[in-house]
Amino acid sequence: MLSWLLAASAVVLPVVIPDPRGGPSEWVVVKGSPGTQPCGAAGYLLPLPAKVDQAWLDGIVALSACGAPLLATGGEPPAAVRPYLDGVVVEGWEGGALLEFRRAALGLPLVAAAGDGAGVVEALAAGARAVLVVRPRQEWEVELEELLPAPRSAMFGSRPLPTGLRGRDLAIVVGLPAGFGGGPVELGDDWVADALLLGEGGSELALTRRRGGAIVEVPALPGGGIAVVRRPGEGSGELEAVTVTGQRLPEVAEVLARHQRAAARQQRLLSRWTATQRLLLRVRVGELGRSFELEMEGPLFVEGGVGADWEIARAWLGGVVWPPDRLPDLPLLEARRPQVPPLAVRLQPGWSYAFLGLEERQGRDCYLLGFSTTSGAEARSGEACIDRLTFGLVELTERAGGLAGEVRATTQTTVNAPLSLGQEVVWLPVRAVADDLVAAFGAGTSVHRELTVSQHHLDPPWFDQARAAAYGGKRRMVRDSPAGVVRLVPDGRGGRMPESGAAVRMRLLLAGVAVDPGLETPLPFGGLQIADFDFRGRGEQFRLFAAGVVNDLAWARRRGPGELTFGAFTQLLPFATPAYLGGEKVPGEEIKVQRQRLGVGVARAIGRTRLSLDLDLYRWDFGRTEDTAGDFALPPDTWEGVLRGGAHTTLSGTSLSASWEVGQRARWTAEGARRWQRYHAGVTHELTLGLLARLTLAGELWGGQDLDRFSAPTPGRLGPLRLRGVPSGRVTPDRLGVARVALALPINPQLRGEVGVDAGWVREERSGYRARPLAGVGASATLPGPWSTLVELSLGYPLTVPGKHGLTAELLLLRPLGK
């Protein structure tokens, strides 16, 4: 039976319902579309249409938001409709066996239409949840609760009368048909005390006990009636009852329907609410080996039919306070959310659902449902936890892969909490965590989002005034609606309107200087970084770093789950690079190196993993410096082709990447070989410890064959691998394993510090190293600087490194620009 399921919901059926089709009643018969029916009735009778369509089904959901029971009439409802109903009216039933059969077949509470007292007792004793009666007696609803079948029927002459036992006190209830002529009613039970006739002011009936039975004298009842024969001791004691219950797990459609009705009810009850929302955005760029963080906080205004409008009142960039009106435009960070599946039954479903059992989440007993798409190129799945008591959404995990936009795959978990709204309970979000795998400019990037919502105010009277004040202010605002996240810009009349075009471009000025014992002189650097996520308005990506001496660009175009990429790098002036052996500089082997690159590639997202294949063409030019020995043989200028395959994925704040490269040089006579191979694998986990605090754990493995100082993964300021405190170029490893740990903590609103240790184990055949330690420690400080810049100062010192020890330092200034 569904009685336990219905009892757990907000809808409860009375035992006796006045039939609105034949007399006055607080119940109404629905005419026309259910969705247009006004609220206010005690319950609704829904005539089934000739053909049930999705619009009619949606109308049932809208009507259920009134919080009153819905009973279908006019036949057996289709299977897709039954989960949304609170019962089915059975007309023209005959006998308890038929009623029991139909109850089991439908799997829904049955409401029997009865014409007199005999029909009422027969239906309830046979298992009907309630009865529909024209002008019922007022006492019937109380006196007929918990009616059970009686072992023996009362007799009127040779005619059996409908008879039941009242569960709470075992009283005998006898139904008397219309036109009852009056006379003795014989009971096959002598454990009786007295008899009452319901509906006649509780008039007492004459009762005579005899051996093994009793006789009740009943007057003539043209309209029929109900007699109750009570047991001895009523009013002076309590019967001890033993109740045996079992738990029936519901079908997935039942849970979906109850949740959809609960959600519709919540939307009707709570049209608007406010809260404080805080969002942490962390972008990890694998090529740079570092993360960028932005946090924003401010009031949230949510209104049904409009969306969630968020005013960004406070901001932190890199862990330090930052003016909200000078935030950079970061289109990458407004990643598209996974499509939320309709947690509902559909006549033509695009999703499949599975009942996964019972589970406790957030301290609540829940039904756990799994869902997934049934068609389409995008693979979407997840789990929903539905509260067993209120059918509210406790937790929702969504996963999506094979997406066509910048976001290739995403996982998001949203947690809701129950809040009291008068006598009702509503479920509102309090936390959401998401991890996105993003394809940005031909590379894989991880985006981590943590959202918290607190200080909820339900339907506050000052909602309009507070939101109007936010609209009229100068702070940045965004709107989150089913259509996506868009910026709200002033409309010139004191209000806001959605921005016509989403943020697709950002510009940054970079400048700084690095001091490294492995470099001959301090190395200044700087340039303009331009990133366009909709280049030429064609959905292409274009990035340019223009720094004069070195310049780099990347272009990417998406085609469904695939990408086509192009990249270029130019070095206008050569750099002097010394050679090291055993940590000591080799005299006479310093050379000038100038490098150029052109590359093309393809990539494809498979589930949560981005796979890429790139082909690069390098031009190497070498020259002598003043310190180059005259008898040192320079490497020949050459062309080099490099084929690289890579994979990148992200999960729960953890980024994993792997790559393999093979290079072929046209000419080569120096150390190493014309053909070389290199591989890399890395994992990084970043954990938010509190406001503006972060713990980073990472590991890397590098290796290869036939490597030299131009292809080996040499730790240094200008290469792909950097170790805190370790000077550039000290080792040229054939194998290298690295473990990193770093902790960033806010010191005050204007300053955040970070300390970290990098420890490595290097194998270098040229120096005779076998698992030689390589480690350094570093500290950095981030603070706002002049001219709206963000300043980062980093210091490092080697703990274990071959050769001379020395302090490394780097000063970086970053200034976000407008579009």
Kindly report, residue by residue over 371-395, the tens digit of the pLDDT. 888 766 677 888 999 999 999 999 9
Degrees, nearest 5: CA angle 558-818-436: 40
Higher-pLDDT residue of 607 and 421 is 421
135: left (phi over 0), alpha (psi -120 to 50) or beta: left
Of all residues in the chain, what percent carry a pLDDT higher than 90?
41
Cβ–Cβ contacts within 10 Å for residue 539, how many? 16
3-state class percentages of the chain: helix first, strand second, coil last, to nearest 5: 10, 50, 35
| pLDDT score for 137 | 85
**Mean per-residue pLDDT for 261-281?**
91
Report yes or no: 407 and 277 within 8 Å, Cβ to Cβ: no
The rounded distance, in Å, linking the Cα atoms of 529 and 516 is 24
Weakest-pLDDT range from 62-71, 504-513, 592-601, 706-715? 504-513
Residues 655-666, mean pLDDT to the nearest whole number: 94
What burial letters (b/e) apply to 796-817, b meaning 16+ CB within 10 Å?
bbbbebbbeebebbbbbbbbbe
| Lookup: tokens for 663 | 């290079």
Residue type at 510? L
Q: Identify the bridge partners of residue 444 per DSSP, sorted by sequence position.
A: 439
pLDDT(469) > 90: yes
**Mind listing the pLDDT tens digit for each residue in 322-349?**
888 887 766 544 444 545 556 766 665 6
pLDDT of residue 101: 67
Give the span between the Cα atoms of 411 and 380, in whole angstroms. 10
Q: What is the pLDDT of residues 754-771, one digit of tens each?
A: 999 999 999 988 888 888
Residues 323-358 as b or e (16 or more Cβ within 10 Å = b): ebeeebbbbbbbbebbeebebbbeeeeebebebeee
Please check the confidence at residue 801 and state whether its pLDDT lies above 80: yes
485: nearest Cα among 451, 508, 457, 454: 451
d(CA 429, CA 410) in angstroms, rounded, equals: 19
Name the residue among 787, 796, 812, 289 with its Cα closest to residue 524. Answer: 812
pTM of the model: 0.82
Q: Are 541 and 408 in contact (CB under 8 A)?
A: no
- Answer whether residue 9 shows pLDDT above 60: no
Distance CA 698, CA 682 (A): 7
pLDDT at 248: 53
| Token pair listed for 190 | 């002598």
Is the model's pLDDT at 10 over the cut of 60? no
Q: What is the pLDDT, as a whole number, of residue 578?
A: 86
- Quote the CA–CA distance of 16 and 224 in Å, as a whole number: 16
Q: What is the C-alpha R_g of the chain? A: 38
User: Token pair of 353, please?
Assistant: 């659902």
Task: Give dist(CA 398, CA 342) in Å, integer.
Answer: 12
pLDDT at 653: 77
Cα dihedral across residues 66, 68, 74, 77: positive or negative: positive
| Separation of first and last alpha carbons in the chain | 63
Instruction: Please give the Cα distance from 676 to 643 (Å, whole number).
Output: 11
Whole-angstrom distance, CA of residue 607 vs CA of residue 558: 16
pLDDT at 274 over 90: yes
- Look at the block and give the residue holding tokens 């002076």: 236
Three-state DSSP class for 722? coil
Query: 73 near 92, Cβ under 8 Å?
Result: no
- Helix ranges (H only) for 495-570 are none
| pLDDT computed for residue 168 by the predictor | 84
Residue with tokens 């969306």: 307
Rounded Cα distance, 429 and 427, in Å: 7
Tokens of 430: 């309090």
What is residue 97's predicted lDDT score, i.e. its pLDDT?
66
pLDDT at residue 503 tops 60: no
Q: Is 363 left (phi over 0), alpha (psi -120 to 50) or beta?
A: left
The one-letter amino acid code at 344 reads A
Q: In a 3-state reduction of DSSP, which class is residue 231? A: coil
Largest CA distance in the chain: 134
Question: Which residue stretches of 84-182 are H helix?
Answer: 95-106, 117-125, 140-143
pLDDT above 80: residue 794:
yes
Q: Which residue has the tokens 């079948």?
A: 149
| Structure tokens that stand for 614 in this block | 């790139």
pLDDT band, residue 321 (cuts 50/70/90): very high
671: pLDDT strictly greater than 80: no
Q: Any bridge partners for residue 310, and if so which?
A: 300, 478
> What local confidence, expressed as pLDDT, does residue 782 receive?
93
Q: What are the phi and psi torsion angles at 252 (to 5°)?
A: -65, -35
CA separation for the pair 28, 44 (Å, rounded): 5
Which has more confidence, 93 or 772? Answer: 772
Which pLDDT score is estimated for 342? Answer: 67
Distance (Å) of CA 718 to CA 82, 114, 548, 683 = 67, 89, 16, 22
Examine the pLDDT at 13 and tell me if it is beyond 60: yes
Whether 675 shows a pLDDT value over 70: the answer reads: yes
**DSSP character for 573?**
S
Strand order in 16-18's β-sheet? 16-18, 130-133, 110-113, 87-90, 70-73, 43-47, 27-29
Q: Give a three-class secondary structure readout of 758-814.
A: EEEEEECHHHCCCCEEEEEEEEEEEEEECCCEEEEEEEEEEEECCCCCCCEEEEEEE
Out of 58-67, 553-562, 591-600, give the one with best mean pLDDT. 591-600
Decide if pLDDT at 483 tops 90. no
- The more confidently predicted of residues 732 and 739 is 739
Note the pLDDT tens digit of each residue in 97-117: 667 767 777 878 899 999 889
CA neighbor of 780 nearest in space, from 319, 445, 447, 316: 319
454 and 275 in contact (C-beta within 8 Å)? yes
State phi, psi for 101 to the nearest 5 degrees. Answer: -65, -45
Q: pLDDT-derived band of residue 155, with 50, 70 and 90 as boundaries?
A: very high
Which has more pLDDT, 170 or 328? 170
* Residue of 653, 728, 627, 4 whose CA lies nearest to 281: 653
Mean pLDDT (the chain) is 86
pLDDT (0 to 100) of residue 575? 86
Comparing CA positions, the residue from 283, 284, 271, 316 lying closest to residue 297 is: 316
Bridge partners for 584 per DSSP: 581
Which of these, 340, 494, 525, lies nearest to 414 by C-alpha position? 340
pLDDT of residue 583: 82
CA distance to 302, 536, 576, 726, 729, per residue, from 803 (Å): 62, 51, 19, 11, 11
pLDDT tens readout for residues 607-638: 788 899 999 999 999 999 888 888 888 899 99
**Res 637: pLDDT:** 92
Ranked by mean pLDDT, which of 101-110, 182-191, 284-293, 457-466 comes out on top?
Answer: 457-466
246 contact partners, CB below 8 Å, separation of at least 6: none
Q: Does the pLDDT at position 540 exceed 70?
A: yes
CA-based nearest residue to 369, from 390, 265, 381, 380? 381
Give the pLDDT of residue 237.
42
Neighbouring CB atoms inside 10 A of 397's CB total 18
Calculate mean pLDDT across residues 491-504.
78
How far are the Cα atoms of 17, 18, 197, 694 from residue 139, in angstroms, in the given order? 12, 13, 10, 67
By DSSP bridging, strand 87-90 and strand 70-73 are parallel
pLDDT in tens, 34-55: 988 999 999 999 999 988 888 8
Cβ-count burial 131-161 (b if 16+ within 10 Å, e if not): bbbbebbebbbebbeebebbeebbbbeeeeb
**What's the token pair of residue 349?**
């479903």
**Lowest model confidence (mean pLDDT) among 190-199, 241-250, 405-414, 704-713:** 241-250
In angstroms, rounded to a whole number, what is the distance separating the alpha carbons of residues 788 and 683?
34
Q: From 503, 450, 451, select the one nearest 334 (Cα to Cα).
A: 503
Which CA distances in Å does 229 have to 76, 180, 210, 216, 232? 36, 18, 15, 9, 10
What's the pLDDT score for residue 627? 87
pLDDT > 70 in the chain, percent: 91
> How far is the CA of 10 from the CAs of 7, 95, 225, 703, in angstroms?
7, 31, 32, 64
> Residue-wise over 558-574: b if at least 16 C-beta within 10 A, else e?
beebebebebebebeeb
pLDDT band at residue 399 using 50, 70 and 90 as cut-offs = confident
